[in-house]
Amino acid sequence: MRLSRAVEWLHMRSRRSKKIMLLTADIVGLVAIVWLAFCFRFNRFFVPNFEQTLLILAAPAIAIPIFVRMGLYRAVLRYLQERAIWTMIKAVTFANLAWVSLVFITLSYGAEGIPRTIAVLYWAGSLVGVIGSRLGLKWLLNGGIAHDTHKNRVIIYGAGDAAMQLANALSASGDRQVVGIVSDDRSLHGMEIVGIRVYPSEQLEELVSDTEAQEVIVTASSSSTRRRRELVARLGRFPVKIRVLPSIADVATGKYLVSYVRDIDIDDLLGRSPVPADPELMRSSLEGRIIMVTGAAGSIGSEVCRTIAQGNPTKLVLFEMNELGLYNIERELRRYGNFPIVPVLGSIGDARLVRRTLIEHEIQTVYHCAAYKHVPLVESNPLEGVRNNVFGTLTLVEEACAGNVQNFILISSDKAVRPTSVMGATKRWAELIVRYYGEEARKKDESRVFSSVRFGNVIGSSGSVVPLFKEQIAAGGPVTLTHEDMTRYFMSVREAAGLIVQAGALSRSGDILLLDMGEPIRIRQLAEDMIMLAGFSVRNEDNPDGDIEVVTVGMREGEKLHEELFYDPTGVTTTRHPKILRAAQLGTTEQIPAMIAQLKLAMEHADVAAVREVLFSLIGENGRLAAVPRLPPAPSDKDLRRLA
Is the pLDDT at 583 greater than 50? The verdict is yes
Of residues 81 and 428, more confidently modeled: 428
* Cβ 388 vs Cβ 348: under 8 Å: yes
Residue 377 backbone dihedrals phi, psi, to 5 degrees: -65, -45
Across the chain, mean pLDDT equals 79
- Residue 362: what pLDDT? 94
Mind listing the pLDDT tens digit for each residue in 551-567?
888 887 777 788 877 77
Angular region, 477: left φ>0, alpha ψ -120 to 50, beta rest: left
- Residue 620: what pLDDT? 63
* Residue 569: how many other CB atoms lie within 10 Å: 11
Is the pLDDT at 251 greater than 50? The verdict is no
Q: What is the DSSP letter of 113?
A: S
Of residues 139 and 128, more confidently modeled: 128
From the list 204, 180, 199, 179, the residue with the least C-alpha distance to 189 is 199
| Burial class (CB within 10 angstroms; exposed 0-12, middle 13-18, buried 19+) of 46 | middle
For residues 2 and 619, give the distance between their C-alpha atoms in angstroms, rounded to a whole number: 81
254 CB-side CA count, 13 A: 0
For residues 55 and 122, give the distance between their C-alpha atoms in angstroms, rounded to a whole number: 12
Mind listing the pLDDT tens digit for each residue in 230-248?
777 677 667 777 777 755 4
For residues 502 and 282, give the distance between their C-alpha atoms in angstroms, rounded to a whole number: 6
Of residues 307 and 263, more confidently modeled: 307
Rg over alpha carbons for the chain, rounded to the nearest Å, is: 36
Helices (H) and strands (E) in the chain, counts: 24, 23
- Residue 141: what pLDDT? 64
Residues 6+ apart with CB under 8 A from 356: none
Mean pLDDT of 335-345: 90
Mean pLDDT of 44-71: 84
* Cβ 301 vs Cβ 295: under 8 Å: yes
Residues 6+ apart with CB under 8 A from 641: none
Of the spans 541-545, 577-581, 595-599, which averages the highest pLDDT?
595-599
**Residue-wise over 18-40: b if at least 16 C-beta within 10 A, else e?**
beeebbeebbebbbebbbebbee
| Burial class (CB within 10 angstroms; exposed 0-12, middle 13-18, buried 19+) of 411 | buried
List, in order of start, the domains of the chain with CATH numbers: 2-144 (no CATH), 151-264 (3.40.50.720), 279-457+491-518+564-586 (3.40.50.720), 593-643 (no CATH)
Going through 456-503 in order, the beta strands assigned E by DSSP cover 457-459, 479-481, 487-488, 490-492
Of residues 479 and 633, more confidently modeled: 479
* Cβ 206 vs Cβ 200: under 8 Å: no
SS3 70: coil
- Residue 253: what pLDDT? 41
SS3 214: coil
How sure is the predictor about 2, in pLDDT bands with cuts at 50, 70 and 90? Answer: low
Is the pLDDT at 366 greater than 90? The verdict is yes
Mean pLDDT of 431-459: 85
Mind listing the pLDDT tens digit for each residue in 448-480?
899 999 888 777 666 677 778 888 888 888 889
* Residue 112: how many other CB atoms lie within 10 Å: 10
* Cβ 519 vs Cβ 325: under 8 Å: no
Mind listing the pLDDT tens digit for each residue in 16-56?
777 888 888 888 888 888 888 888 888 888 888 887 788 88
- Residue 153: what pLDDT? 82
Of the spans 185-194, 203-212, 592-601, which averages the highest pLDDT?
592-601
- Residue 314: what pLDDT? 93
Q: Which of 111-120, 281-290, 330-339, 481-490 has the lowest mean pLDDT?
A: 111-120
405 CB-side CA count, 13 A: 34
Is the pLDDT at 273 greater than 80? The verdict is no
Is the pLDDT at 352 greater than 60? The verdict is yes
Residue 170 backbone dihedrals phi, psi, to 5 degrees: -70, -35
* Cβ 551 vs Cβ 558: under 8 Å: no
For residues 277 and 242, give the distance between their C-alpha atoms in angstroms, rounded to a whole number: 28
For residues 633 and 339, give the distance between their C-alpha atoms in angstroms, rounded to a whole number: 50
Residue 445 backbone dihedrals phi, psi, to 5 degrees: -155, 115
- Residue 465: what pLDDT? 79
Of residues 584 and 623, more confidently modeled: 584
For residues 508 and 407, give the distance between their C-alpha atoms in angstroms, rounded to a whole number: 10
- Residue 168: what pLDDT? 74
Alpha helices in 106-254 (DSSP H): 116-141, 144-148, 161-173, 204-211, 225-235, 248-252
Q: What angle do CA 476, 481, 485 make, to 5 degrees?
A: 140
Predicted TM-score (pTM) of the model is: 0.65
* Cβ 230 vs Cβ 216: under 8 Å: no
- Residue 422: what pLDDT? 92
Mean pLDDT of 312-318: 93
From the list 211, 164, 159, the residue with the least C-alpha distance to 186 is 159
- Provide, rounded to the nearest whole percent, the portion of the chain with pLDDT above 90: 18
Alpha helices in 218-291 (DSSP H): 225-235, 248-252, 279-286
* Cβ 397 vs Cβ 433: under 8 Å: yes
From the list 249, 132, 277, 212, the residue with the least C-alpha distance to 579 is 277
Q: What angle do CA 575, 580, 586 make, to 5 degrees?
A: 80
For residues 432 and 451, give the distance between their C-alpha atoms in angstroms, rounded to a whole number: 10
Residues 6+ apart with CB under 8 A from 102: 55, 58, 62
* Cβ 422 vs Cβ 619: under 8 Å: no
Q: What angle do CA 453, 459, 461 make, to 5 degrees?
A: 75
- Provide, rounded to the nearest whole percent, the portion of the chain with pLDDT above 70: 80
